[in-house]
């Protein structure tokens, strides 16, 4: 069947189709125009953000030195925090239209990558600054150990720094260069830690060597050579506070050695003088005996029957052989005890170990100081009361202080030796004032072991056995009349 549409209908349909196409084309043109506008705004926004990120990167570059891997000089945590704050406030752009598949996406991704790289760079700067501050804390003085790319030429560890702190920081910042790939900055950090470690170990080694001085005493066997060696090591210490502390201990050791040296010198001089005195007395005795014999012969009379001689065979104990230059009281007591048969199994060294010592240095209560060396400012002696009390532990001993010369002779006649307090080499007394009273600084103690006309026989722990003129002995004894008898 053949249908034929009216002409009017055909025209109306064509008109509708044309209208639809026109409307669609207009809408497409409008959307395209808006897209271009949005893209232009987005490009401008990205350009501004890139400038902002570049500025932050420039600020980060200012935190670094021109020397690769080093930070700038005088850098502060505040400066680092300021750049970090700027980066944290920087936000990547977000748009309300689809940017996928166009150049904006690439640019945004590139910007995010740059931001992430800058963040890592700032973290590295912050970490390096932290390490530098830790390393700088190992050293003292106004000048930093490392500042920028400059290392101080006067590196001295901080006061009161301990080895534990150095180890702690070393474990935190030190990087071993096993493959030779450690950069110059890290090498500098390693070298500074090593320097601190060297200085603290040096102080530790010197401190340990000075432990020979403890509780006011110096260990036995320390020599001047040992002192000189320790002094050289102390002089190498760079930290002034530690050096002063070590020098104070060293000075005490030096004083001890000087006292030892003075005591040894005094010992040698005393021995030489005593030997000279002994020879002189022996010569005088021989001369006097010859004179007496000559006089007796010329008068054709014999005086031997009228002369009384008492001489006890008291054993001689050398105080110096016992290394006790100040131990004459103990030596004189032991000589007398052993003569009477007491304390036979004692050496002077062992006997000295049992001598009562007064910690305050009062000879009325016990021995003051030590018998083994000269101690300045201390009266090194033990007086009759504590001496006789100590001696009574071994045998029959009595304090007879105040006794006359005649009483001393009677004890000798009864076979009893007497410990007497006199002066060294029978010299004039030299008095000293102490907290407990007045003492004779040149006092000496020995065992009275005999007498004869015009002489007394003594067993002297410092000079041996000899006869001394009665006038010299009596003048010296009568200064104190200190005496202890063993019976």
Q: In this predicted model, which residue has the larger pLDDT, 10 or 362?
A: 362
- Please list, in sequence order, all residues whose beta carbon lies within 8 angstroms of the beta carbon of residue 326, skipping any fewer than 6 positions away: 263, 369, 370, 371, 372, 373, 374, 380, 381
Closest Cα to residue 292, out of 454, 469, 450, 465? 454
The first and second tokens of residue 19, run together, are 């209208």
Q: Are residues 323 and 249 in the same domain?
A: no
* Residue 325 within any structural domain of the chain: yes
Q: In this predicted model, which residue has the larger pLDDT, 59 or 30?
A: 59
List the single range of 253-257, 280-284, 370-374, 481-485 with lowest mean pLDDT: 280-284
List the single range of 151-165, 180-194, 213-227, 242-256 with lowest mean pLDDT: 213-227
Q: Are residues 431 and 344 in the same domain?
A: yes
Collapsed DSSP state (helix, strand, coil) of residue 338:
helix
Average pLDDT on 211-236 reads 92
* Residue 469 within any structural domain of the chain: yes
Q: Are residues 129 and 238 in the same domain?
A: no
- Rounded CA-CA distance 329/381 in Å is 7
Of 135, 160, 193, the residue that ends a domain is 135
The whole domain housing 413 covers: 308-486
Q: Is residue 300 pLDDT above 50, yes or no? A: no
Q: Is residue 24 pLDDT above 60, yes or no? A: no
* Residue 389 within any structural domain of the chain: yes
Question: In the structure, what pLDDT confidence band is assigned to residue 328 with cuts at 50, 70 and 90?
Answer: very high
Q: Are residues 403 and 469 in the same domain?
A: yes
| Beta pairing partners, 452 | 455
* Residue 411 within any structural domain of the chain: yes
CATH no. for residue 460?
3.90.70.10
Burial code (b: 16+ CB inside 10 Å, e: under 16) for 407-425 equals ebbebbeeebbbbbbbbbb
| pLDDT number for residue 301 | 33
- Please list, in sequence order, all residues whose beta carbon lies within 8 angstroms of the beta carbon of residue 193, skipping any fewer than 6 positions away: 135, 138, 166, 169, 170, 173, 174
Q: Are residues 233 and 335 in the same domain?
A: no
* Residue 375 within any structural domain of the chain: yes
Average pLDDT on 54-66 reads 95
* Residue 360 within any structural domain of the chain: yes
Q: In this predicted model, which residue has the larger pLDDT, 214 or 383?
A: 383
* Residue 165 within any structural domain of the chain: no
Q: Are residues 330 and 217 in the same domain?
A: no
List the single range of 118-127, 296-305, 395-404 with lowest mean pLDDT: 296-305
Closest Cα to residue 190, out of 162, 154, 151, 159? 151
- Please list, in sequence order, all residues whose beta carbon lies within 8 angstroms of the beta carbon of residue 487, skipping any fewer than 6 positions away: 340, 396, 397, 398, 411, 414, 416
Q: Are residues 328 and 476 in the same domain?
A: yes
Q: Are residues 357 and 417 in the same domain?
A: yes
Q: Are residues 104 and 240 in the same domain?
A: no
Distance separating the N- and C-terminal Cα atoms of the chain? 175
Residue 454's CB is within 10 A of a number of other CB atoms, namely: 11
Give the burial class of 327: count Cβ atoms within 10 A of its Cβ; 0-12 exposed, 13-18 middle, 19 or more buried.
buried
Of 82, 105, 135, the residue that ends a domain is 135
Domain count, the chain: 3
Q: Are residues 358 and 239 in the same domain?
A: no
Strand (E) positions, 109-234? Answer: 146-147, 150-151, 213-214, 217-218
Radius of gyration of the chain (CA): 51
CA 280 to chain centre: 52
Residue 1's CB is within 10 A of a number of other CB atoms, namely: 2
Which of 93-107, 154-168, 300-314 has the highest mean predicted lDDT (pLDDT)? 154-168
pLDDT above 70 coverage of the chain, percent? 85
| pLDDT number for residue 305 | 40
Q: Are residues 340 and 475 in the same domain?
A: yes
In this prediction the pTM is 0.56
Q: Are residues 382 and 465 in the same domain?
A: yes
* Residue 151 within any structural domain of the chain: no
- Rounded CA-CA distance 312/210 in Å is 50
Q: Give yes or no for a contact between 356 and 438, defined as CB atoms under 8 angstroms apart.
A: no
């Amino acid at each position: 069947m053949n249908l034929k549409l009216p002409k009017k209908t055909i025209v109306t349909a064509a008109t509708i189709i044309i209208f639809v196409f026109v409307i669609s084309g207009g809408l497409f043109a409008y959307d395209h125009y808006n897209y271009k506008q949005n893209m232009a705004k987005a490009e401008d926004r990205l350009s501004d953000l890139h400038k902002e990120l570049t500025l932050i990167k420039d600020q980060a570059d200012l935190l670094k030195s021109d020397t690769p891997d080093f930070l700038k000089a005088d850098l502060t945590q505040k400066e680092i925090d300021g750049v970090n704050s700027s980066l944290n406030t920087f936000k990547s752009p977000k748009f309300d239209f689809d940017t996928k598949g166009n150049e904006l996406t690439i640019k945004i991704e590139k910007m995010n990558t740059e931001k992430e790289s800058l963040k890592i760079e700032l973290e590295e700067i912050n970490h390096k600054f932290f390490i530098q501050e830790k390393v700088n804390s190992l050293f003292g003085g106004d000048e930093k150990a490392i500042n920028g790319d400059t290392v101080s030429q006067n590196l001295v560890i901080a006061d009161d720094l301990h080895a534990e702190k150095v180890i702690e920081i070393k474990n935190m910042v030190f990087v071993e260069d096993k493959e030779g790939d450690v950069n110059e900055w890290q090498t500098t950090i390693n070298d500074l830690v090593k320097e601190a470690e060297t200085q603290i170990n040096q102080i530790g080694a010197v401190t340990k060597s000075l432990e020979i001085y403890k509780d006011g005493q110096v260990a036995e066997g320390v020599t001047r050579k040992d002192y000189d060696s320790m002094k050289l090591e102390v002089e190498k210490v760079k930290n002034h506070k530690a050096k002063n502390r070590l020098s104070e201990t060293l000075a005490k050791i030096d004083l001890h050695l000087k006292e030892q040296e003075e005591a040894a010198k005094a010992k040698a001089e005393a021995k030489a003088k005593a030997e000279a005195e002994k020879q002189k007395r022996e010569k005088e005795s021989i001369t006097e005996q010859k004179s007496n014999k000559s006089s007796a012969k010329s008068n054709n009379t014999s005086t031997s029957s009228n002369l009384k001689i008492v001489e006890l065979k008291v054993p001689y104990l050398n105080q110096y052989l016992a290394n006790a230059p100040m131990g004459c009281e103990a030596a004189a007591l032991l000589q007398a005890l052993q003569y009477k048969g007491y304390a036979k199994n004692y050496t002077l060294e062992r006997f000295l170990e049992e001598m009562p010592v007064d910690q305050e240095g009062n000879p009325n209560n016990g021995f003051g100081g030590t018998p083994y060396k000269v101690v300045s400012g201390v009266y090194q002696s033990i007086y009759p009361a504590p001496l006789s009390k100590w001696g009574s532990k071994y045998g029959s001993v009595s304090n007879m202080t105040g006794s006359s010369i005649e009483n001393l002779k009677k004890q000798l006649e009864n076979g009893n030796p007497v410990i007497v307090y006199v002066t060294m080499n029978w010299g004039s007394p030299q008095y000293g004032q102490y907290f407990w009273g007045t003492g004779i600084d040149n006092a000496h103690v020995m065992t009275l072991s005999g007498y004869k006309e015009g002489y007394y026989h003594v067993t002297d722990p410092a000079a041996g056995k000899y006869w001394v003129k009665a006038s010299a002995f009596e003048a010296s004894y009568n200064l104190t009349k200190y005496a202890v008898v063993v019976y």
